[in-house]
Amino acid sequence: MFSKPVVLLGEVHDNTAQHALRLQAFRDLLATGARPALALEQFDRDRQPALDRLLAQTPPPDADALIAAAGAKGWTWDHYRPFLALALQHGLPIVAVNVGRDEARLIMREGLARHGFDADVPADVLQAQALDIEASHCGMLDQAAAKRMALSQVARDQSMARALRTHADRGVVLLAGNGHVRTDIGVPRWLDAATRARSEAIGVLEVDDTLTAFDRRIYTPVHERPDPCEGMRKPKPSS
């Protein structure tokens, strides 16, 4: 499934079939003898020291100990626990690459440069990120707020790109949402030329998704879910 040593492997977060497909591809890669780092959007980068302390222990921790140390909420861990178990079994580096909510709020208020990120963001990237955020909030977010939130999304993409550059020589697999994997505005835009040449951005999409900005696309059936906009559009009860 993978043709390059640096793999950006997309997902729709709640699509069970996609996680099963990706897990098998990861198993197949390890069966070839490859030992890439495993980078996860699901772990915030400020938790890396806690993860490293656990990974240095003898005997090594299990996947649940890593999840607890990461302190990440809002993820369905049954989807990611098998990846962590394989990484632990094979002694792979496990890399936290996301920008957490607290840091993201500061970036939105203070800007990218203040927090060590590249503030020279192409206008098309920032605009497209803002439009994508507006769409994901079902039109319930004003443009100014979306533009601020776009800064935090850019920071996440830059953080992921840095991790990929760091581990490119041994190989690395990034597990992240399709929005981060996009070649037009996502992580690939922040890779240096040498790393980008060694990378492949794979969108793992549902069949009704029209987005094409990936090096390669894999389609799965649509996962049945309630309308995510319904709850946002319901009027809030008066206090």
> Is 215 contained in some domain?
yes
Give the closest residue to 168 by CA, choosing from 148, 144, 188.
Answer: 188
CB-CB contact of 216 with 7 (8 Å): no
> Would you state the structure tokens that stand for residue 53, as one six-digit string?
């302390």
Locus of tokens 């800064």: 151
Q: Place 237 in a pLDDT band, splitting at 50, 70 and 90.
A: low
Asked whether residue 228 carries a pLDDT value surpassing 80, the answer given is no
Phi/psi at 61 (5° precision)? -75, 170
Tell me the percentage of the chain whose pLDDT exceeds 70: 96
Q: Place 31 in a pLDDT band, splitting at 50, 70 and 90.
A: very high
> Is 180 contained in some domain?
yes
> Is 238 contained in some domain?
no
Cβ neighbours of 68 (radius 10 Å): 13
Residue 1, pLDDT score: 78
> Is 156 contained in some domain?
yes
> Is 11 contained in some domain?
yes
How much is the average pLDDT of 77-94? Answer: 98
> Is 228 contained in some domain?
no
Residue 239, pLDDT score: 47
Question: pLDDT tens for residues 34-47?
Answer: 999 999 999 999 99
Locus of tokens 């987005």: 211
Q: At 92, which CATH number?
A: 3.40.50.11550
Give the structural domain span for 177.
6-222
Q: How many structural domains are present in the chain?
A: 1
How much is the average pLDDT of 62-86? Answer: 96
Asked whether residue 231 carries a pLDDT value surpassing 90, the answer given is no
CB-CB contact of 231 with 213 (8 Å): no
Phi/psi at 57 (5° precision)? -75, 155
> Is 99 contained in some domain?
yes
> Is 1 contained in some domain?
no
CB-CB contact of 210 with 196 (8 Å): no
Average pLDDT value over all residues in the chain: 94
Range list of H helices, the chain? 16-31, 48-55, 63-70, 81-89, 101-110, 123-136, 143-167, 178-181, 193-197, 228-233
Least confident of 47-56, 133-142, 191-200: 133-142
Cα–Cα dist 119/154, whole Å: 9
Asked whether residue 3 carries a pLDDT value surpassing 80, the answer given is yes
Q: pTM to 2 decimals?
A: 0.93
Asked whether residue 233 carries a pLDDT value surpassing 60, the answer given is no
